[in-house]
Chain A
Amino acid sequence: MASQNYYDPADLKKFGKISDWSKELGDKFFEYYGKVFEEGALTAREKSLIALAVAHTEMCPYCIDAYSQDGLQRGITKEEMMEAVHVGAAIKSGATLVHGVMMMNKVNKLEM
C-alpha cells in the first residue's frame, strides 16, 4: 500500500475503480447515483445541499471534499452550505437527545 493513511485525498479520483472488481454492481451503483442527483421533484441544487449535510453526519471526508466543490460550482453560498451542515448537526444531536426519552422511560420503570 503506497499510502500510510487510511484516508488519502487521491483515492477520491479512484472511486470509479470499484467497478473493476465487480463491474455489474459497480455500474449499477454509478447509474443509480447519477440518476439520484438529476433534477427531479427536488432541484439538483437542493440535492447538493442535502448531500453536503449527510456528508457531514456520515463524517465522510471524500463526500465533504466532493460536495463542497459541487456547491461552489452550483453557485451555492458559504452561508447556505453552513446552514445545511447545521441541519445535519441538529438532526445528529437531536437523535442523541431523543434517546434521552428512552433513558427516562427505563429509569421511570425501574424506580419506585
Chain B
Amino acid sequence: MLKEKRKQQQSLHKRHSELAMANKQLEKLSNGIFANGELPTFSEKIKVSNQFPLRPKKLEILQINLGYMCNQVCEHCHVDAGPDRKEIMTRKTMELCLEVIRNTSAHTLDLTGGAPEMNPDFRWFVDEASKAGIQDFIVRSNLTIIRANKKYHDLPEFFKNHNVHVVSSMPHWTRGKTDKQRGEGVFDQSIKALQELNAVGYGMPDSDLRLDLVYNPSGAFLPGDQASMEKDFKKALLEDFGIHFHSLFAITNLPISRFLDYLIASENYEDYMYSLVEAYNPAAVKNVMCRNTISVSWDGYLYDCDFNQMLELKVASKIQHISEYNEAILNDRKIIISQHCYGCTAGAGSSCQGAVAD
C-alpha cells in the first residue's frame, strides 16, 4: 500500500510507465471504441458540422511552458509534472521568447508549467516580459509553491509589482476533495496562499489585481456549470476562510498523461470517453483555444495547445520553433487533432480560460 502511494507521488516518466510515452497515449486514444466504430473520431464529428480541418483564427494568446518541474504530483496532471522532471526552459530560449513577446499581436501572455516559479530564471523572465506591455500577463501558479520554501514567500508582492494576473488551481472548497487530487496538505497550504494573495490586494472586489481560480473535477466526471460552481466556490471560500477571488474557470480533464492513466486504472476510460462524446457541442468548437493560442514548450518548440505539447504533436507548419517564429506563416496551419480534443468541446467547452461556448 505504501509502495503504491509512493509510486503515485512520482511522475509517469519516473515510474517508466508506458503511458509516459506520447505515442502510447495516442494509440490508446485511436484504438478500441474509436477504431471499432462504437464512437466517432473527433475528425468525423467535426466534419458533420463543416468544421474540418480546424484552422486558427486571430492569435490572441501566447502560452509559454517554462518547464515540467513542479512541487506537486497531482493525480490528474496532463503535463506529468513533478519534482522529478528536469525539463526547464533555459535563459537562451527565454530570450528567443522575449523577442516574440515584444512583436506579437497576441494580447495575452500566459506562463505555465509545472510550477513556472521553480524555473531559476522565472523572475528575470517576468521582469523582462512585463516591459513588453502585453495587455493581460498571466502566471499559472499552483498556490502551494508560495508556501513551499522561504524563497517563494514574497511571490504575492512580486506578482503585484509586475501587475501579473494570477490564475490558480483549486479543485474544491473542501479539504478532502482537494487533497485527494493534489496531495496531502495541499488544501491548507492553498488556503494560506490565497489569504496571502488577498492580503496584497489580489482577488479583492474592485481590485485590478486579478486572481482567478481553476476548477477541474477530481474524478472521472465532467465539470458542472461554471457560473453555478463559481457561486458555490465564492460562498464557501468567503464564509469558511474569508477568501475573495474574481472568476472561476471550470476546466475539463483531458484524457491524456496521468489522467488517462487514472481513467484506465480505475476502469473509467470508456465511460469517460462516452460522456465526452455525448456532451460534444459544435458551438464550443468555434471558440476552442487552439484556434487563438500558440503554445511554446520549455525547449522552444511550437504547438497548437499545451495538450498537443504533451502529446508531442508539433504544429503542422514549416515554422516549428520559436527561433524561426513567424505569426503569418503559423496562422496558415491546420490544427492537429485527436480524440483528446473532445475534452475541449464537451458541454460549455473548456480552455485554459474556462468555458468557451457563447
Contact = CB atoms under 8 A, between A and B. Distances in A.
Interface in B203-231: 215, 217, 219, 221-225, 228-229
Nearest to B229: A75
B232 interface: yes
A74 B224 contact: yes
Contact of A45 (B172, B223, B228, B274): B228
Interface in A1-27: 13
B174 interface: yes
Contact of A75 (B172, B176, B274, B278): B172
B222 A73 contact: yes
Given A13-B274, A45-B232, A73 B174 contact: no
A72 B219 contact: yes
B274 A44 contact: no
Interface in B147-187: 172-174, 176-177
Nearest to B215: A75
Contacts of B224: 73-75
A77 B171 CA distance: 12
Contacts of A72: 217, 219, 221
A43 interface: yes
A37 B161 CA distance: 46
Nearest to A74: B224
A74 B225 CA distance: 7
Given A13-B274, A45-B228, A73 B221 contact: yes
A77 B232 contact: no
Task: Report the contact-size class of chain A (Cβ under 8 Å from the partner).
Answer: 10 to 19
Contacts of A75: 172-173, 215, 224, 229, 232-233
A74 B223 CA distance: 7
Nearest to B274: A13
A50 to B, nearest CB: 16
B76 to A, nearest CB: 14
A69 to B, nearest CB: 5
A74 B77 CA distance: 21
A104 to B, nearest CB: 45
A43 to B, nearest CB: 7
A30 B186 CA distance: 42
Contact of B217 (A13, A44, A73, A77): A73
Interface string B48-62: 000000000000000
Interface in B283-329: none
Nearest to B233: A75
Nearest to A68: B221
Interface string A57-76: 00000000000010011110
A77 B180 CA distance: 13
A13 B174 CA distance: 32
A75 B174 CA distance: 10
Contacts of B228: 39, 43-45, 74
Q: Tell which of B174, B224, B233 has the most Cβ of chain A within 10 Å.
A: B224
Q: Pick from A39, A69, A74, A75 the residue with the most CB of B within 10 Å.
A: A75
B131 to A, nearest CB: 40
Contacts of B223: 73
Interface string A77-99: 10000000000000000000000
A1 to B, nearest CB: 20
Interface of B: 172-174, 176-177, 215, 217, 219, 221-225, 228-229, 232-233, 274, 278
Interface of A: 13, 39, 43-45, 69, 72-75, 77
6 contacts: A43-B228, A44-B228, A72-B221, A73-B217, A74-B228, A77-B177
Those 6 A-B pairs whose CB atoms lie nearest each other, nearest first: A73-B224, A74-B224, A72-B221, A73-B221, A69-B221, A75-B232
Given A39-B228, A77-B174, 6 more contacts: A72-B219, A72-B221, A73-B217, A74-B225, A74-B228, A75-B232
